[in-house]
């Protein structure tokens, strides 16, 4: 830290991304990326004439992309904003709907960026502990004035709240915004997008990084009441008006349009997730009933840190999470069937060595 760094941020603990090692080739099951490449339609779009227009600024409103998403989710174009990854959408939401006395409320085990945004923007936080079974207790989010952020499915556990519970939380107080972060919803969760037509205080956050194989493209979006979207655009235009480049826009439009490839990839991940979960349970693991493209698992015979280290030594990278309550768990991204078979073989070798 330099002597010039503002004291206001001296205690800031930035978000730590998953490892992206360059020293050797790993089976990467640590950052919830898709194991599948973008669709061929996306490849064609990126290699199109848009590449010849990179000397020109892109459409600041991402009009065609917003229209494609609006049609996909059955809303109007004015109900959509596109962002540089869902992280940017979240950043805009924290800035737009918190502050001036209104804090943010979220679970103790959730997406690690939420507390970072609070520290960055000087927002008061209310942490609501999940229950012993790692599920969110809906009643904890009722009767509080803060802006609520719920990752659904949860970014660490994969557990998902049903639609009626989300509606209960949203409808309990229409004087505060509820943000449903649906980064993993395509893998078996229940989207609340339809509720945005009845509740002007509900904002949905989505991403192309997981189910649409575009983590490297950095593309996210938000859907909500037109006034909420207008608020987010006010923040965006005050910070980063050209936030999505031409090639990413083209890729996004193509990805939304290729419904067949989307369904194929999602269904395969769901199938492999179920098989991997059963294989781990058979080996004595406690595994969450995840609705994301990952599993959270722990085995009483070995600590999370040791299991993570042993797997890394064997060329398999998983995620060790900083949350104290799940410190003995590892989070495992669902890869291809071959990759998950390799993971299980490595786990067998490790567990056999403990006997």
For residue range 104-140, what is the model confidence (pLDDT) as tens digits?
A: 999 999 999 999 999 999 999 999 999 999 999 999 9
Average pLDDT over every residue of 14-39: 87
Average pLDDT over every residue of 185-194: 97
Average pLDDT, the chain: 95
Classify residue 17 by its DSSP letter: P
Q: What phi-psi label fits residue 174: left (phi over 0), alpha (psi between -120 and 50 degrees) or beta?
A: alpha
**Chain segment 137-158, per-residue pLDDT in tens:** 999 999 999 999 999 999 999 9
Cα(200)–Cα(194) distance, integer angstroms: 11
Contact 58, 249 (CB under 8 A): yes
Contact 55, 48 (CB under 8 A): no
Cα(169)–Cα(163) distance, integer angstroms: 10
Taking only Cα atoms into account, the Rg of the chain, rounded to an integer number of angstroms, comes to 21
Is pTM beyond 0.85 here? yes
pLDDT at residue 3 in the model: 82
**Chain segment 315-330, per-residue pLDDT in tens:** 999 999 888 899 999 9
How many beta carbons lie within 10 A of that of residue 328, not counting itself? 18
Q: What domains, with CATH codes, occur in the chain? A: 19-36+260-352 (3.90.1150.10), 40-257 (3.40.640.10)
Average pLDDT over every residue of 55-74: 97
pLDDT at residue 4 in the model: 83
Average pLDDT over every residue of 37-55: 93
């Amino acid at each position: 830290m330099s002597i010039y760094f503002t004291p206001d941020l001296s205690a800031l603990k930035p978000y730590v991304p998953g490892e992206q090692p360059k020293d050797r080739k790993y089976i990467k099951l640590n950052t919830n990326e898709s194991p599948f490449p973008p669709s061929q339609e996306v490849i064609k779009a990126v290699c199109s004439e848009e590449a010849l227009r990179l000397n020109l600024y892109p459409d600041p409103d991402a009009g065609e992309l917003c229209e494609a998403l609006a049609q996909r989710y059955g809303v109007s174009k004015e109900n959509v904003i596109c962002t540089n990854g869902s992280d940017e959408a979240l950043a805009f939401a924290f800035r737009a709907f918190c502050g001036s006395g209104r804090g943010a409320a979220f679970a103790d085990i959730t997406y690690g960026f939420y507390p970072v945004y609070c520290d960055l923007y000087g927002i008061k936080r209310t942490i609501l502990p999940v229950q012993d079974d790692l599920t969110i207790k809906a009643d904890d989010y009722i009767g509080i004035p803060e802006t609520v952020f719920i990752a659904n499915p949860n970014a660490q556990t994969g557990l998902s709240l049903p639609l009626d519970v989300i509606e209960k939380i949203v409808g309990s107080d229409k004087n505060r915004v509820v943000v449903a972060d649906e980064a993993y919803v395509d893998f078996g969760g229940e989207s609340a997008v339809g509720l945005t037509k009845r509740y002007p205080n509900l904002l949905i956050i989505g991403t192309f990084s997981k189910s649409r194989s575009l983590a490297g493209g950095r593309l996210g979006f938000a859907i909500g009441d037109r006034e909420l979207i207008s608020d987010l655009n006010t923040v965006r235009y005050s910070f980063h008006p050209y936030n999505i480049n031409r090639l990413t826009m083209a890729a996004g439009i193509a990805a939304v349009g290729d419904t067949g490839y989307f369904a194929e990839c999602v269904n395969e991940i769901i199938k492999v997730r179920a098989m991997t979960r059963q294989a781990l349970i058979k080996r004595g693991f406690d595994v969450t009933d995840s609705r994301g493209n990952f599993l959270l698992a722990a085995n009483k015979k070995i600590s999370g840190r040791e299991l993570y280290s042993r797997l890394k030594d064997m060329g398999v990278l998983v995620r060790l999470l900083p949350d104290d309550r799940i410190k003995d768990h590892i989070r495992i991204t669902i890869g291809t069937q071959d990759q998950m078979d390799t993971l299980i073989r490595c786990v067998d070798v490790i567990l056999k060595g403990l006997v």
